[in-house]
């Protein structure tokens, strides 16, 4: 089970739900690049002429008789700006129900249903819902959104293939107090901080990125498990606590929801800067359904690529949908005010979490990068997930660019 973004007191009782899984919890890598200061000043906005149009005018290719109707997508966490490209396909005209947002997929002739993860699927591994169905909403999706790391982890038990990704890098990071630590950009820096008494507050010691850091020299005793969005340890730790988080969430929460932090600056290092770089929001199908869904995916994947471009050109409509949906139709502890989504949008663009791939198109996979990530994860999966994954499985069986339209890209 991949918990996308736990947040503070909003996650009361989450640990009990996660305990139902009986499976390793995984976390993912983040964006490549240097250490960043939070709250970036971003004034430029991506622009395409049609971006402000309703979904019915943006997505017009007929999917009737080609794709399942309704087409159901299971996400890996509660609704947030990181998922917004999916909601862009419906726009403001959808119907809100508990853990479900459903409406016409543009004017394609079919409906799209987007299911929330976390409590919305009983904290199941997302890939499992393709095989066993969603036990909360009681439907079976044809698509799921999750990390490619999870595709590897469940490549034997729940085999899937990723066909497009909504984010080119992961916002997963380690956050620190820059008045205490000046340089944490390498694993050697991190190990030195740990030896000097720093502790790393993370959700779980079995998370693959945690095991990766331990294997590369960070002392295991420096890690503290149990992080579920609570920032008290970070705030009261005198600079000696480094905190797991997401660059487009925790810095905002420190600045706006955590008066005790006092508005001080914060810095963070992406996990990818330490060498582990996963795809966090990949749209996946069952491997044994790839052929039968091929006609649908040929038309749908370019729409998903375009929805990324359109959302970041004009995000206001979907950001308002997310704000209205949460927490009324989500979990009581989960809110996504428009201002927080705006912050997320700015971070995702400024720090290239959402960006064109190495091939120039949005949504495509860099297969060489993916192969290297898988190679790094194999020994960790052998220890943490024996029996659920296929040892040595090639990247070409985990993801494909077959359905990507190379002409679709961010400005």
Model confidence pLDDT, tens digit, residues 26-58: 233 333 333 443 433 332 233 334 456 899 999
Among candidates 314, 319, 374, which has minimal Cα distance to 58?
314
pTM: 0.88
Q: Where are the domains of the chain?
A: 38-170+279-397, 172-274
At residue 8 the predicted structure's pLDDT band, cuts being 50, 70 and 90, is very low
Supply the DSSP string of 117-142, one letter for each residue. -GGGGTT--TTHHHHH-BTTTTB--S
Same fold, 38-170+279-397 and 172-274: yes
CA pseudo-torsion sign 122, 127, 131, 134: positive
Fold of 38-170+279-397: D-Maltodextrin-Binding Protein; domain 2 (3.40.190)
Share of the chain above pLDDT 70, in %: 87
- Residue 395, exposed/middle/buried by CB under 10 A (0-12, 13-18, 19+)? buried
- H-assigned helices in 221-355: 232-236, 250-256, 294-313, 316-325, 338-350
The C-alpha atoms of residue 188 and residue 355 are separated, in whole angstroms, by 29
Report the alpha-carbon distance of residue 81 to residue 285 in Å, rounded: 22
Average of per-residue pLDDT values in the chain: 89
Question: Per-residue pLDDT tens for 226-280?
Answer: 999 999 999 999 999 999 999 999 999 999 999 999 999 999 999 999 999 999 9
Which CATH architecture fits 172-274?
3-Layer(aba) Sandwich (3.40)
């Amino acid at each position: 089970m991949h918990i996308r973004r736990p947040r503070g007191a909003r996650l009361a009782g989450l640990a009990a739900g996660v305990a139902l899984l009986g499976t390793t919890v995984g976390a993912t890598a983040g964006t490549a690049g240097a250490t960043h200061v939070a709250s970036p000043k971003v004034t430029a906005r991506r622009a395409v002429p049609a971006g402000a149009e309703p979904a019915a005018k943006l997505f017009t290719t007929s999917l009737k008789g080609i794709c399942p109707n309704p087409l159901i997508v299971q996400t890996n966490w509660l609704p947030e700006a990181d998922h917004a490209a999916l909601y862009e396909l419906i726009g403001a005209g959808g119907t809100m129900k508990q853990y479900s947002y459903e409406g016409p997929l543009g004017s394609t002739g079919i409906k799209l249903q987007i299911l929330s993860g976390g409590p919305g699927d009983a904290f199941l591994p997302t890939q499992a819902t393709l095989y066993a169905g969603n036990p909360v909403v009681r439907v079976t999706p044809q698509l799921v959104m999750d990390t490619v790391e999870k595709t590897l982890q469940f490549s034997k038990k729940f085999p899937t293939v990723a066909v497009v990704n909504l984010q080119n890098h992961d916002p997963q990071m380690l956050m620190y107090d820059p008045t205490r630590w000046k340089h944490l950009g390498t694993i050697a820096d991190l190990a030195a901080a740990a030896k000097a008494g720093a502790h790393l507050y993370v959700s779980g010691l079995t998370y693959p990125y945690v095991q990766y850091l331990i294997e590369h020299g960070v002392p295991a005793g420096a890690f503290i498990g149990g992080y579920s969005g609570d920032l008290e340890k970070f705030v009261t730790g005198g600079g000696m606590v480094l905190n797991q988080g997401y660059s487009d969430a925790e810095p905002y929460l420190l600045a706006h929801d955590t008066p005790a932090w006092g508005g001080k600056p914060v810095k963070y290092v992406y996990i990818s800067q330490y060498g582990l770089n996963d795809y966090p929001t990949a749209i996946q199908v069952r491997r044994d359904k790839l052929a039968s869904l091929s006609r649908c995916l040929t038309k749908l994947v370019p729409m998903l690529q375009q929805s990324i471009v359109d959302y970041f050109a004009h995000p206001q409509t979907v950001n308002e949908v997310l704000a209205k949906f949460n927490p009324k139709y989500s979990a009581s502890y989960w809110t996504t005010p428009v201002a927080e989504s705006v912050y997320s949008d700015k971070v995702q663009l400024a720090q290239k979490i959402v960006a064109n791939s190495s091939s120039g198109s949005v949504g495509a996979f860099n297969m060489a990068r993916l192969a290297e990530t898988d190679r790094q994860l194999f020994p960790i999966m052998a220890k943490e997930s024996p029996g659920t994954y296929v040892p040595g499985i090639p990247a070409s069986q985990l993801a494909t660019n077959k359905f990507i339209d190379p002409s679709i890209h961010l400005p």
